[in-house]
């Protein structure tokens, strides 16, 4: 189980680190329709995408290094949910990757012996 946990953590970390870094190193392709409107709205805020991508890079590095993994999983949970919902409603072609992100996040947070006890403890009434 340890090897599966390390693999899931590494894959999730690489995806978020890579997505964050690539945002700053390349120009995204033009988007059309509802997804284009959504992206233009995020760009109009002048800060949100930078904050999001810096958060993705930071959490990706935390996952890759193995330091503060439960914290990274907590921070990434709403991001993963939003990625899933954006692809579900605005750009279904990205849905397979969104599902993979959700499965990796859920496995690490709720089923991996190494991290799930810390995450599950957040849901217990004290």
Question: Does residue 126 carry a pLDDT above 80?
Answer: no
Question: Does residue 123 carry a pLDDT above 90?
Answer: no
Q: Where are the domains of the chain?
A: 2-121
Q: Produce one character per residue of 45-66: b if its CB has 16 or more CB atoms within 10 Å, e if not.
A: eeeeeeebbebbbbbbbbbbee
Contact 77, 108 (CB under 8 A): no
- Backbone region of residue 29 per phi and psi (left: phi > 0; alpha: psi in -120 to 50; beta: other values): beta
pLDDT, tens only, 25-77 = 988 788 888 888 998 898 899 999 999 999 999 999 999 999 999 999 999 99
User: What is the reported pLDDT for 105?
Assistant: 97
Question: Does residue 2 carry a pLDDT above 80?
Answer: yes
Q: Name the pTM for this structure.
A: 0.91
User: What is the reported pLDDT for 27?
Assistant: 84
> In whole angstroms, what is the distance from residue 103 CA to residue 31 CA?
26
DSSP state of 114: T
């Amino acid at each position: 189980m340890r090897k599966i946990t390390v693999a899931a953590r590494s894959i999730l970390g690489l995806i978020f680190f890579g997505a964050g870094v690539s945002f700053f190193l390349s120009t995204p392709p033009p988007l059309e329709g509802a997804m284009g409107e959504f992206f233009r709205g995020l760009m109009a805020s002048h800060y949100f995408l930078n904050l999001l991508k810096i958060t993705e890079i930071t959490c990706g590095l935390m996952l890759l290094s193995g330091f503060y993994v439960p914290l990274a999983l907590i921070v990434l949970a709403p991001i993963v949910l939003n990625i899933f919902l954006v692809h579900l409603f605005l750009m279904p072609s990205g849905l397979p990757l969104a599902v993979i992100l959700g499965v990796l996040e859920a496995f690490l947070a709720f089923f991996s012996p190494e991290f799930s006890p810390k995450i599950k403890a957040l849901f217990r009434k004290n």
